[in-house]
Amino acid sequence: MTTVHTSVLLEEVLDDLSVQPGAVYVDGTLGGGGHTRALLEASAPDGRVLGIDQDPEALERTREFLKPFGDRFQSVHGNFGNLLELAREAGFDQPDGVLLDLGVSSDQLDTPERGFSFRFDGPLDMRMNPDAGVALSDWLAEVEESALAQVLWKWGEERQSRRIARAILEARDAGILTGTEALAQVVEQAVGGRKGARIHPATKTFQSLRMAVNQEMDVLSSGLEGALHLVKPGGRVAVISFHSLEDREVKQVFRRHEGREVSLYEGGSRWEGDEPRVRTMHRKPRMAEERERDDNPRARSAKLRTVQRLETT
């Protein structure tokens, strides 16, 4: 089985992390291993990378793909919400850089049995780690209409959240919510059809349900804190996000660690912020060039933010 996932902002990540021969990296979202492979190549001959992923299928496939790098590549199954502990246990304390490339991979989206996509029929699952958590079908079996509408509104920015939530739960109670295709149809009908729209009317619903099932916003802040505490002083943390709420969270966490100088009543100033201190590599997030955006539609919404941990903390 080969990977179909195309890594986004590859050159920009290597540039932001300033990858050096012999350096050590942690990739908290290994996926198809494209970024990790580039890190291994750029840190040759003896650089090392630890890849973490919560998806056992991705890990198995990518271990095979990265076999040529021998013991320069290591991997561990786990959630980057526990990045600090996972990396330290694997002997990767104080790496030169950490990368998080958030969300799902094309491999996950394109596998109908994983239940991520409205483009195929599959079970209502959507768990990135099928060995843990609650599948979408079980989550939907319990959820209240108001809570469902809230998820669609908050994480999907879905303007018709209430109408869609009601339709989904009616379909559930009627026993017709049998899979991803049925769910997509229910959403499409609830909003009155496609109306010539370019994107499928269930896109936002699927995205927000995936974020709820995988508790993506909850683990993001602990993953970011873990990365900042793990990386060595002078090392860098790069994060690619695809969702405005994720990008906002990344920006806010980085800002808190960047801190600010506060003027004191008695004169002078004092730095206030969260430890460890960082500096932002570029104020605006880096986005894909036009060529990459044309070649890879996923790249269109990708935003890269990178900070460097300061030597003095």
Ligand X SMILES: C[S@@+](CC[C@H](N)C(=O)[O-])C[C@H]1O[C@@H](n2cnc3c(N)ncnc32)[C@H](O)[C@@H]1O
Tell me the backbone φ, ψ of residue 56, rounded to 5 degrees.
-60, -30
CB of 87 to ligand X, least distance (A): 12
| 2-21 footprint of ligand X as x/- string (CB under 6 A) | ---x-x--------------
Q: How far is CA 48 from CA 42, 71, 96, in A?
A: 10, 8, 10
CB of 105 to ligand X, least distance (A): 4
Q: Using the minimum distance from each CB to ligand X, give the nearer residue, 102 or 187.
A: 102
Q: Using the minimum distance from each CB to ligand X, give the nearer residue, 33 or 122.
A: 33
DSSP string, 162-200: HHHHHHHHHHHHTT---SHHHHHHHHHHHTTS-TT-SS-
Q: Which residue of 14, 17, 26, 31 would you call a contact of ligand X, by CB under 6 A?
A: 31
Cα first-last separation, the chain? 45
Binders in 83-142 for ligand X, by CB under 6 A? 101, 103-105, 128
CB of 7 to ligand X, least distance (A): 3
Binders in 50-69 for ligand X, by CB under 6 A? 52-55, 58
Quick one: which of 79, 17, 90 has its CA closest to 52?
A: 79
Q: Cα(313)–Cα(311) distance, rounded to whole angstroms?
A: 6
Show the CA angle centred on residue 231, arms to residues 128 and 270, nearest 5°. Answer: 120
Quick check: 80 binds ligand X (CB under 6 A)? yes
Binders in 253-312 for ligand X, by CB under 6 A? none
CB of 220 to ligand X, least distance (A): 8
Q: Which residue of 16, 24, 32, 124 would you call a contact of ligand X, by CB under 6 A?
A: 32
Tell me the backbone φ, ψ of residue 280, rounded to 5 degrees.
-80, 130
Interface residue list for ligand X (CB under 6 A): 5, 7, 29, 31-35, 52-55, 58, 79-81, 101, 103-105, 128, 219
